[in-house]
DNA sequence: CGCGTAGTTGACCATCATCAACATACGTGG
DNA sequence: CCACGTATGTTGATGATGGTCAACTACGCG
């Protein structure tokens, strides 16, 4: 199935009936706070699974929204259980996935929720760039929700980086990053 | 096995040879940042498992340190795999545990890493108190590492709560909390 | 053309980090 | 028993950072 940017795979509290294997694209997992502001707790990219809540038969804890056009397979949880009975190895794959998510969650906390806004944004850009030096970014609002800062701060910090020549925006939501220099800032 | 307060079950990078079922006590999972400061990413209490990294055959990602005298069972990972072959239900228990950890991780991020220091500390105290109104707390340094603030801020904020009558310290590392009032502050 | 959304920027203020001084408790060795 | 050292907590002064509120710009679309 193909989802356009900005569509929700599921929402907090929905009965968890499917898991979603992401073939291509990008999905954010959002959690809403008591005061209504939102916090992005994880990104799911190619090869990862959204909706793992369904494994333990409880409602979805997050809202999953695409950040890019996303192509994925939606698998009813019943089918997962049938597959599981047939293929004894599936558990371990699921365990592997869950462990991967947990690792992501811990990194998210230490990398993107600790230190100054400058350092956090630098870390985010470095990790989005991966081995390349060009990467997809997102609206200032999304950047803010990932880093736990306001959209204004996200905007200002991006502007700062651009002024310093560390980041060059290459059209909407795509930018070139001076990865090494950013890595420096990331450790501050 | 019984571990005294402050002993490490394992450290970041150690080959992951055991999982630890916590029978009684409390364990913190610590991650160290590039600049050497530490961040506590999760607490493990009675009935939960430390060292799940071992399931996927990679070194431990955290350092696990007891915060209280802790009684636990240390199970070699080989035994887990043998048990798993014998008892086909074990996977699902492990999946359940991992999912639990993931839930904890997400809550930690949204509750304890978002908002003002006052709100975060209030949320921590409320969640430590659970249904009771008395709870174990920790050194100011540990409180700070949980909330992502300095020990000074942790100390000041605790002092504030005490002055306002929201918290009464009952001997070392134990306190009585005005849970309802704290819940108010938690939403700020 | 006018409207709505997203981004930018400025001014101001609250919060928190930092640095430093001091207090308190505890254990060790003289 | 007391003096001392260390670890932990408290408190104050100060400055940097980021939140808030508001004005303004840029862009796309009906």
Say whether A35 and B187 touch across the interface (CB within 8 A). yes
Question: What local confidence, expressed as pLDDT, does residue A163 receive?
Answer: 93
Question: In angstroms, rounded to a whole number, what is the distance separating the alpha carbons of residues B155 and B157?
Answer: 6
Q: Is A171 exposed, middle or buried (0-12, 13-18, 19+ CB in 10 A)?
A: exposed
What's domain B2-112's architecture?
A: Sandwich (2.60)
pTM of this structure? 0.91
Q: Indicate the residue of B39, B53, B186 with minimum beta-carbon distance to A109.
A: B39
For residue A153, say whether its CB is under 7 Å from any atom of strand D. yes
CATH 2.40.160.10 applies to domain A117-186: no
Q: Own/partner pairs for B80-89, CB < 8 Å, 24+ apart?
A: B80/B19, B80/B54, B80/B55
d(CA B152, C1' C19) / Å: 11
Q: How many contacts does A have with B, using Cβ atoms within 8 A?
A: 95
Nucleotide nearest to B151 (CA to C1'): D9
Question: What local confidence, expressed as pLDDT, does residue B59 receive?
Answer: 94
Whether B10 shows a pLDDT value over 90: the answer reads: yes
Tell which strand C nucleotides have any atom below 7 Å from a protein Cβ: 6-10, 15-20
Q: Indicate the residue of B102, B110, B148 with minimum beta-carbon distance to A98.
A: B102
Mean pLDDT of B18-40: 92
Say whether B105 and A109 touch across the interface (CB within 8 A). yes
CB B138 within 8 A of CB B68: no
Question: In angstroms, rounded to a whole number, what is the distance separating the alpha carbons of residues A124 and A182?
Answer: 10
Mean confidence (pLDDT) of chain B: 93
What is the dihedral sign for C-alpha B84, B90, B93, B95? positive
**A162 membership: H or E segment, kind and range:** helix A151-163
Segments making up each domain of chain A, as ranges? 2-112, 117-186
* One pLDDT digit (tens) per residue for chain A, 188 residues: 999 999 999 999 999 999 999 999 999 999 998 887 899 999 999 999 999 999 988 899 999 999 999 999 999 999 999 998 888 788 889 999 999 999 999 999 999 999 999 999 999 999 999 888 889 999 999 999 999 999 999 999 999 999 999 999 888 888 999 999 999 999 87
């Amino acid at each position: 199935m193909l989802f356009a940017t900005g569509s929700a795979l599921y929402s907090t509290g929905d009965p968890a009936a499917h898991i979603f294997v992401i073939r291509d694209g990008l999905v954010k997992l959002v959690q809403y706070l008591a005061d209504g502001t939102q916090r992005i707790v994880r990104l799911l990219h190619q090869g990862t699974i959204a909706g793992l809540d369904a494994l333990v038969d409880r409602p979805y804890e997050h809202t999953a929204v695409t950040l890019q056009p996303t192509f994925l397979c939606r698998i009813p949880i019943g089918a997962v259980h049938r597959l599981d009975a047939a293929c004894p190895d599936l558990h371990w794959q699921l365990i592997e996935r869950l462990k991967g998510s947990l690792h992501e969650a811990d990194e998210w906390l230490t990398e993107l929720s600790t230190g100054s806004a400058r350092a956090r944004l630098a870390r985010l850009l470095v990790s989005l760039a991966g081995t390349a030096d060009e990467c997809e970014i997102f609206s200032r609002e999304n950047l803010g929700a990932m880093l736990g800062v306001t959209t204004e701060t996200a905007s200002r910090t991006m502007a700062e980086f651009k002024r310093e020549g560390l980041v060059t925006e290459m059209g909407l939501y795509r930018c070139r990053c001076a990865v090494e220099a950013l890595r420096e800032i990331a450790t501050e």
